[in-house]
Amino acid sequence: MHSEPKISVITPIHNREKYIRETLECLQKCNYKNWECIVMDDDSTDNSAMIIKEMARIDSRIKYFHQPKSPIPVTKNNAVAHSSGKYILPLDSDDLIAPEYMAEAVEILENNPSVKLVYCSGVFFGDKKGKWKLPAYNFRQLLLKNCIHNTAVFRRTDFDNAGGYDPNIITSEDWDLWISLLEKGGEVYFIDKEYFFYRKHTDSFTDNHQDKIAATQKQIYANHKEVYDKLIENPIQFLRDYDKFKKKYNQLRRLTFRKQIP
């Protein structure tokens, strides 16, 4: 029997055979033992499934599911639907967490009913290294730009009440979820310790990334129009300014890329 409440780690995966074993092993090293990891395979074509199934045979806390190729928010919702924990922790299939993170996050949530979201300091590794410098959280800041990374811990009941991840969001689906969780009240707790390790891939950047962010920004505004109109002085102008930033960013990036070509 476990006295600790269960935490469900949700891990969408598509062709991450190089990294998934390390991600699952970091969970096995955690000092918090009552967890399950719902690995939702988004129709991988490499050896990801074989690696996960092999590890699941040895550790029953690892649970493998397969689905046809779907948008990331749909994949995450499906993973949560298969989970049975009191708490949810999203963890991408190439990222890592420190052994202490789950235990500290659950303790905070267990002792503070007003806290809806717990996150920690993040560190880049892989093709980029260094501390992930996110703006300090306040709700207005969250509306303007996401300041909470994907691998935060929250209650399953709050997730259900918020309606889960919006399947229409193209990218940054966690940003929309955080607003949904917090727009009717609730606190956020930041653990000022480097417990989250975010793997960066230089080859994963696409030229239309900023276009996706701009489309996401508009979708998030539509989803939460009432709170934006209440707290942001001119949300329409804010969206226009964001589009201008996106165009300028792409111009600068293309110029930098041309300079690097020999």
pLDDT tens across 108-148, in order? 999 999 999 999 999 999 988 999 999 999 999 999 889 99
- Is 234 buried (19+), middle (13-18) or exposed (0-12) by CB count in 10 A? exposed
What six digits make up the tokens of 66? 């397969």
Residues with pLDDT less than 50, the chain? 1, 205-207, 245-246, 249, 252-262
- CA 123 to CA 101: how far, in whole Å? 14
Of 220, 206, 189, 193, nearest in space to 253 by CA? 206
pLDDT score recorded for residue 156: 98
pLDDT score recorded for residue 232: 83
* Percentage of the chain modeled with pLDDT above 70: 85
pLDDT score recorded for residue 257: 39
- CA 183 to CA 158: how far, in whole Å? 12
pLDDT score recorded for residue 236: 60
- CA 54 to CA 184: how far, in whole Å? 43
pLDDT score recorded for residue 237: 61
- CA 219 to CA 239: how far, in whole Å? 11
E-strand stretches of 201-234: none
- CA 235 to CA 141: how far, in whole Å? 13
- CA 249 to CA 213: how far, in whole Å? 12
Question: Cα-atom radius of gyration of the chain, to the nearest Å?
Answer: 19
pLDDT score recorded for residue 255: 45
- Inter-residue contact 23 to 50 (CB < 8 Å): no
Alpha-carbon dihedral angle through residues 145, 79, 200, 33, given to the nearest 10 degrees: 110
Helices (H), 83-126: 101-111
Strands 87-90 and 154-155: antiparallel
